[in-house]
Amino acid sequence: MSSLSVDVYPKRRKTYTWLFFLLPSIAIMLVFFIYPILLTFFYSFTNLALTGEAARELKFIGLDNYARMFQDPTVRISIWNTLVFLIGSAVIGQQVLGFLIALLMKQRNKTFRRVIGTIVLAGWVTPEIVCALCLYSFFGDEGTLNAIITFFGFSEVTWLFTVPMLTIILANIWHGTAFSMLVFQAALDDVPNEIEEAAVVDGASKWKIFTRIIIPYIKSTITTNMMLVTLQTLGVFGLIYAMTGGGPGNSTTTLPIFMYNQAFVNYQLGYGTAISLLLLLIGIVLSLLYIRSMKE
Amino acid sequence: MNAKQRKLIYRILPYAILTGIGICFVLPLLWVLVASVDPNAMQSLKMPSKVTGANYVEVITSSENQRAYLIGLVMSLGQAVLVVLLALLAAYPLSRYQMKYKKPFMLTILFMTSLPITAVMVPVYQLFLGLKLYDNILGVILFYVASSMPYGIWMMKNFMDSVPSDLEEAAWVDGASVFTGMRKVVAPLMVPGICTVAIFTFSGSWGNFFVPYILLQSPEKFPASLKLYQFFGQYGMVDYGSLAAFSVLYAIPAIIMYILSQQFMSKGFGLQGGTKG
C-alpha cells in the first residue's frame, strides 16, 4: 500500500461506506461457505439420514458418529489411502518431478523446452474428467500401456486391479505436475546467476552448487508449493471416482470417496458430515501451516 | 571413461530424461486426440485406418450435448462475472482504506482460499435441500461464486495494490466521486488483473465435476463435465470415438482460457509477494 493513501483516503471516507463495498461478498461467503462449515460441526453430532427413521426425526447422538468412525476399519483404510495418495502423488510425485523437470529444463534448447513444457502443461489444463478418461484408457486392460509392454514381449498386466493405488497416483501426477513445474521454473529463474558463476569460479561441483546455493535459495518456494499441492490433492475426488470408484474393494477409497459413499450412497448424512469434518480438520491444519510458511 | 565422454553424457542426459518424461506425458493425450478422429477407435492408441470427422459431427449435432455445453458455459461465465464484480468491490476498501481488522480479515480470506471444497460438499448439500436450491442451476452458480470469492478477493486486492492512487486522487480533485474514480480510473488500469481472476474462476468451475454432481439431479440440467462423466461412467465406454471427440470439445474452453491467461500474466508464475497485509 502506498504511503500516500494513509493520509488521503481516511478523509474521503464517509462513515462506513467501505462496508457497502464489502457487504455483498461477505454475505455470499457467509451463507454458502462459512455457514455450511459451521453446519458440519452441528450435523456431525446428529443421526441425520436421508432414509429410514432418522430421516423423519433429527436426533442428537453426541459423539456416536465419532465413536463409530474410530471403530470403522474403512475409516482407517481411507486415512491410510489418503496419506499414501498425498505423499505419493503430491509430495513425491508432483513436487519432485516438477522440480526435476524445471531443473533439467534450465539452460536447454529453447524449442525443446517449449515442446516438453507444453506437453506437461496440457495435462494440467485438461479437465479432471478428461484426465480420468485418458488415463483410464492408458492403463486399461486393452489400453496403450499393455499394448506397449506386449510389443516388447512382456505379458499384460491388469493395472487398475493389481496396482490401483499406483494408477491413481500416476494419474494425479500426470494431471498436476505442471503446477509445481511452473512454480519451480519461476523460482529457479530468480536464483541470481552471479552467485552460481562465483561458485563455479571457486571450483564448486555441480552437486555442491545444487545443495548449497540453489536449494537454500528456493527453500521458501519449496515449502509453500508443498503445502499448496498437498491441499489441492487432499480434495481430489473426480479423478479417483471416475477411474476406480474407490475400488477394487476399498483399495483406492480416500477420505473424499469414503465421505461420498457414506453420505450419498448409504444416505448416512450425519456420519458423512463427521467424515467431512475429519477431512476439513486435516485441511485446516495444513492451511494454517501453509499460511505460516507464507508469512516467513 | 575419459573426461570428454563424461562431458558428452552430461550434455545428452538431461535431454534424454526430459524426452522420456515427455513421452510418458504425451501418450494418454495423444490417445484422446487420435481416437477422436478414428472411425474404429479402441482403448489403446493406434494409427487410424482413416481419419474422420464423424465422431465430432455426432457429438456436436446431439441437442443433449449442446444443452450440456451451453449450461456449462452459462454457469462458468455467470460465476466469473459475479466473482469479478463482487471481488472488485470488496478489494477497493481493502486496498485503499485503513481498517481496523484488515489484517485478520485478509488472513481469514487466505485461509479460506486453501480449504478443500470437497470437504464442505455434504453440508452444502444439506443446506441446499433446506433452502430449496437443490437441483437448481442458479444455486450451483451461487455456491461457485461463494467458494471462489476468497481467492478472487485475495488476487484482486493484490492487483489493486499495484495501481497507483495518484491518478484516482487527481480524478477526485476534478470532482469525481469515489465510485466514479473506481469505475473510470482504477478498473481500466486493472484489466490484466480482472482478466486473470475471471479466467481462473471460469476454468475452476468449467473443469469441476464434484459440485454439480452433488447439487444437481435432473439430467437435463447437467453441464458438460457431468454429461461427459455420464457418458464415460454408465455406458461402459463402448463408443471410444465419440467419447474422445466429446472430451476434446470439452477441454477446448479450458485450453483457450489458459492461453488467454498467458497474455495477462506477464509477471510469470511466482508465489512471492502474496502476503502483503
Greater confidence, B21 or B164? B21
Whole-number average pLDDT of chain A: 84
* Closest partner CB to A127 (pick from B95, B172, B225): B225
Strands (E), A25-131: none
pLDDT at A53 over 60: no
pLDDT value of residue A56 = 58
Rounded distance between C-alpha atoms, residue B153 and residue B194, angstroms: 11
Contacts of A227 in chain B (CB under 8 A): 114
* Closest partner CB to A17 (pick from B24, B90, B178): B178
pLDDT value of residue A15 = 53
A60 touches chain B (CB under 8 A): no
Rounded distance between C-alpha atoms, residue A241 and residue A132, angstroms: 9
B255 to chain A: closest CA residue = A125
Rounded distance between C-alpha atoms, residue A187 and residue B269, angstroms: 9
Out of A26-40, A71-85, A114-128, B41-55, which region has the weakest mean confidence (pLDDT)?
A: B41-55
Average pLDDT over residues A246-254: 88
B153 and A25 within 8 Å at the Cβ level: the answer is yes
> Domain A72-295: what homologous superfamily?
MetI-like (1.10.3720.10)
Contacts of B165 in chain A (CB under 8 A): 2, 4-5, 8-9
The distance of B30 to chain A (nearest Cα, Å) reads 9
The greatest distance separating any two alpha carbons of chain A, rounded to the nearest whole angstrom, comes to: 79
pLDDT value of residue A51 = 59
Q: Which residue(s) pair with A60 in the sheet?
A: A46
Out of A65-74, A161-170, B85-94, which region has the weakest mean confidence (pLDDT)?
A: A65-74
pLDDT value of residue A135 = 93
* Closest partner CB to A142 (pick from B43, B111, B142): B43
A149 touches chain B (CB under 8 A): no
* Closest partner CB to B114 (pick from A231, A256, A264): A231
A43 and B123 within 8 Å at the Cβ level: the answer is yes
Region of B51 please: left (phi>0), alpha (psi -120 to 50) or beta: beta
**pLDDT tens digit sequence for A110-165:** 888 889 988 998 888 888 999 999 999 899 888 889 888 888 888 888 888 889 99
Contact B90, B216 (CB under 8 A): no
pLDDT value of residue A7 = 44
Q: Name the DSSP class of B171.
A: H
Rounded distance between C-alpha atoms, residue A36 and residue A145, angstroms: 43
* Domain spans of chain B, in order of start: 3-53, 62-266
B24 to chain A: closest CA residue = A174
Contacts of B237 in chain A (CB under 8 A): 136-137
The SS3 assignment for A60 reads: strand
A147 and B44 within 8 Å at the Cβ level: the answer is yes
Contacts of A34 in chain B (CB under 8 A): 112
pLDDT band, residue A260 (cuts 50/70/90): very high
Average pLDDT over residues A39-51: 73
CATH level 2 (architecture), domain B62-266: Orthogonal Bundle (1.10)
**pLDDT tens digit sequence for A179-193:** 999 999 888 888 888
Between A and B, how many residue pairs show a Cβ–Cβ distance under 8 A? 297
Nearest to A280 by CA among A87, A90, A28, A33: A33
Buried b (16+ CB within 10 A) or exposed e, B257-276: bbeebeebeeeeeeeeeeee
- Count the neighbouring beta carbons within 10 Å of the beta carbon of residue B6: 10
pLDDT at B103 over 80: yes
* Domain spans of chain A, in order of start: 72-295
Whole-number average pLDDT of chain B: 84
A271 touches chain B (CB under 8 A): no
The residue written with cell numbers 474462476 in the block is B201
A269 and B274 within 8 Å at the Cβ level: the answer is no
Nearest to A95 by CA among A180, A218, A211: A180
Contacts of A157 in chain B (CB under 8 A): none
Tell me the torsion sign for CA atoms B51, B55, B56, B57: positive
Rounded distance between C-alpha atoms, residue A101 and residue A79, angstroms: 30
The distance of A61 to chain B (nearest Cα, Å) reads 18
Rounded distance between C-alpha atoms, residue A95 and residue A223, angstroms: 10
**pLDDT tens digit sequence for B256-276:** 888 887 776 644 444 444 333
pLDDT value of residue B268 = 41
pLDDT value of residue A2 = 42
* Closest partner CB to A182 (pick from B43, B172, B269): B269
pLDDT band, residue B86 (cuts 50/70/90): very high
ipTM of the complex: 0.84
Interface with A, mutate which of B13, B25, B163, B228 (most A CBs under 10 A): B25
The distance of B112 to chain A (nearest Cα, Å) reads 8
pLDDT band, residue A288 (cuts 50/70/90): confident
DSSP H or E run through B109:
helix B102-113
